[in-house]
Amino acid sequence: MLLLAACGSTTATTPTPAGPASAQITLFGDSSIAGSMTIISITCLIPTLDGMTISLIGLPNAQPANGLHAYVDIRAGTIAMTIGSGGGPTLVEREFSGSGVSGFNATGVRLTGPVTEITGSQYNKGTVGNVTGVQGSVSCGNQTNGTSNVTVSGSSADGPISVTTSHFRVACSTGSSGTFVNIRGVITVNGVRASVIVSIGATTISFDDAPEHGPIHFYFRQGQVGTTVGSSGGQVDSDAPEEVKPGANPYAVHIKGSATCGSSGSY
């Protein structure tokens, strides 16, 4: 792609945009799942090809920190939820979808209604419990888009790449792999939309170009990557080669600039 700059009785309260982001979410279903979620992180104002998104990560009722996690994506009119744990050969998960979304905007959202399981046959459900409904609310609090002057320039098999990120969403995340500054946006080139993500870490940088239609280009570098990263933002000045099949000629991009996060969270 050529890139050019360019269910129960819990009451759902109305989100109020004051202070840090917060959420009160209750799940209904099997006893291992049902009850109030412990919220780990909330990220609002996420631009995606499917529309503006609010994402949160939490622990279903009574689950330990190393137990089942709930990953929830909320958009106007739809909620998508994955409950699972593990990874690789130990991964177990179930996926659910519903439409009980109201009042969705930049300040938060309210949830109430049933959800339906949509887990694909390729996934191992293990002993993950069933979810039948969700109710609650999310307040985006003082989260903002953040700021960025990061640019990406270089080439791909589809042509030159030149991306500016001044209108992108910037969020910091900290977990077992370290702290990352994630810069995300949606661009349109020649009538084709693409989701673009720049990720800056202490020892890694990446650039992900995922068009709505067409091949995905992913650029990655690890080691001494010329970055400075903190809990509120970071800066970068480095090259990253494209991840390609063995024997193929990799293209490369140069990522340069600084970004300040509009929100920070853990995972």
Predicted confidence (pLDDT) per residue in 167-218, tens digit: 999 999 998 889 999 999 999 877 889 999 999 999 999 999 999 988 899 9
In degrees, to the nearest 5, what angle opens at C-alpha 53 toward C-alphas 47 and 55? 120
Phi, psi of 19 (to 5 degrees): 75, -165
The C-alpha atoms of residue 27 and residue 48 are separated, in whole angstroms, by 25
Domain boundaries of the chain, sorted by first residue: 22-139, 147-266
Q: Which residue do the tokens 């593990």 mark?
A: 86
Q: Length of the chain, please?
A: 267
CA 28 to chain centre: 24
The C-alpha atoms of residue 220 and residue 218 are separated, in whole angstroms, by 7
Which parts of the chain register pLDDT below 70? 1-18
**Do residues 231 and 210 touch, judged by C-beta distance below 8 A?**
no
Query: What is the per-residue pLDDT for 191?
Result: 80
Query: What is the per-residue pLDDT for 17?
Result: 44
Query: What is the per-residue pLDDT for 18?
Result: 55
**Do residues 96 and 83 touch, judged by C-beta distance below 8 A?**
yes
3-state secondary structure of 160: strand
Q: What's the pLDDT tens digit per position in 199-211?
A: 999 999 999 999 9
